Structure 1
Amino acid sequence: MTEHRVYRMSFARVYPLLVAKAEKKGRTRAEVDEIIRWLTGYSQDMLDSQIAQEVDYETFFREAPLLNPSRQLIQGVVCGVRVENIEDPVMREVRYLDKLIDELAKGKAMSKILRSEKLTPPAVDRPE
C-alpha cells in the first residue's frame, strides 16, 4: 500500500484550513466540528485533544472511536476521484471528510451533510 504524504500531515495543521473553507462561505467552526464528530465518533474534548497533540492525519482516523456507518452513503468526486471507489481505507476517510466540508461550503443543509434524513426505499411494483 502506498504511503500518502497527507498521512503524515498534522491534523492540527489541516483543521484550520477546513474551518477557513467553511467560514469563507458563511458557515461556522461549530458546523465543521459537528461534521468531524459525526464522521469519527470523537467527542468535542477528544477532538480538541487530538488537535492539541498534533497527531498526524493517519493516526487521527485510525484512532477514531467510532467511524459512522452512514459515512458509506457519501458519494461524489473529490480531487478528481470518486470517494466511493477509493480502496485505501485511510485515504477514503480523508476524502469523506473533504467531501463533507465541500458540501458544507456549498450551502447544503446539515441534515443532508450528516446523512440524517430518512432514506426511503425505492417503490416496488406490487401486484394488485
Structure 2
Amino acid sequence: MEKHRIYTTSFASVYPLYVAKAERKGRTKAEVDQIICWLTGHDQAGLEAQLDQKVDFETFFSDAPRLNPSRALIKGVVCGVRVEDIEEPTMREIRYLDKLVDELAKGKAMDRILREA
C-alpha cells in the first residue's frame, strides 16, 4: 500500500498553517508550540531544530523524544474521521496534532487541551 502524501510532506511547511489558524482565532504561536511539545516531548529548541531541518511528518513523529501517553485521551473528529478509530500509527499522531490545534482555535482552555483537567 502506498503511503499517504502527508507522510512525506515537510512538517515545516504545515507548521505556519497551524500557527495562522490559531492566530486567526486570537491564540498565539507560543500556544501552538506548547501543544506540539506536549504531544511529542520536544523542547522548544528541539522543535525549532526539526523545523530548521525540514523533516517530513513521518520523521517528525518517529524521532519524537517521548510521545505523551495522555494523547490517547484525545477523541473526536478531524477531517471527517474519528481520531480514536485511526489504525495507522503515524496518521493517528498527525490527526492528534490536527485535533489539538482545532481545539486551540475553538477557544478551549489550555489545561483541557493538554488533558490536565
Q: TM-score range by the shorter chain?
A: over 0.9
2:4 aligned residue: 4
1:65 aligned residue: 65
1:56 aligned residue: 56
Q: Distance in 1 between matches of 2:51 and 2:72?
A: 25
Identity %: 70
More helix by share: 2
Gaps of 5+ in 1: 118-128
Gaps of 5+ in 2: none
Q: Distance in 2 between matches of 1:31 and 1:64?
A: 19
- Listed as ranges, the matches of 1:1-128 within 5 Å are 1-117=1-117
Q: What is the letter of the counterpart of residue 84 of structure 1?
A: E
Q: Distance in 2 between matches of 1:66 and 1:116?
A: 17
Give 1 or 2 for the bigger CA radius of gyration.
Answer: 1
Q: Distance in 1 between matches of 2:105 and 2:11?
A: 19
Runs of 4+ that moved beyond 2 A? none
Q: Distance in 2 between matches of 1:87 and 1:111?
A: 27
1:125 aligned residue: none
The number of residues matched between the two structures is 117
Q: Distance in 2 between matches of 1:90 and 1:97?
A: 11
Q: TM-score scaled to structure 1, two decimals?
A: 0.90
